[in-house]
Structure 1
């Protein structure tokens, strides 16, 4: 769970003019890009020039497990895939509605980071922060109590969709945070009794976002 004051910002717009000097390929995507296309791509790194796309990872059951958005200024590399759990079977990039990117071959990316030390250090610091954040999320999953895990999940859904209304079920929440349905129901009932949320069929409405954040930060 990434709390507001600990957000990891993938924003390298200040180096865009430099990226343009090192990349020899530009491409516009308008359709879903499956994982195997990235896996087999000869390009080592990607920089988003315009537009945005959502990065979606789904498990063997077909349900989305993680979703993030990269937009103008985002920079990511092929090695980013090594951070993905091997249990997650597919990775898709979905342009919204289109995205224009710079592509870097292995040679171009190598030249970029060897000649532009400031950019190389910025990328290292970004991935260090990202790795720390992922480790914190794993700690949350393994050690935090059920109520906190549910609040973490609800807040992540709010950030992903920019909406206080979350379409979900107790079963889906349980799969995401590793709780059985009985405990999910118990903790949701506690949050409902505190008037932090209200629930309807397949829908949770956050009434007090600040309370969700407070529980997540405990």
Structure 2
């Protein structure tokens, strides 16, 4: 593993310590509105994070988040997320299937993720991990193309072309080990990896870390 990687990661973490602490508090506080976060994570695949965040607010303000039909939600989501018809259907199904209190009773974050992938249509390993991280479970990684790019670039691991469950868990373990060496939880360290690939320059990375969700 590259010494330069750890130097850069520790420097980025130190420069943005207050932001990372604020993110921890924000994510833990999201347990008060778990369904909102679940919908956000259902909307994000292949879509803009900021547009999806706005879309959840719009659904909520229009009274569609909890009670809207698929047609009404799809119309509200059009232009804000790709595959808006499918995602409106996912939200409608999630209303029936998702039980936040029951999820919290499941022992172990890995078991929680397995339940989500099995029971909530539209959630894969990455999206389920994103949701769990966003409600304060930090022992998961959100492995997207940015994260894969960084761990490959710095020689932490060589990601396979296909991200199977086994491969996801292998890379997540690598990320967890790297996170421990920087004194961060896996889910918080994941934010640094995203910023390291998506932006260059301390100022732009700091701005991105504040905006990430």
Same fold (TM over 0.5): no
**Which has the larger share of helix?**
2
**Which has the larger share of strand?**
1
TM-score, structure 1 normalization = 0.24
TM-score, structure 2 normalization = 0.24
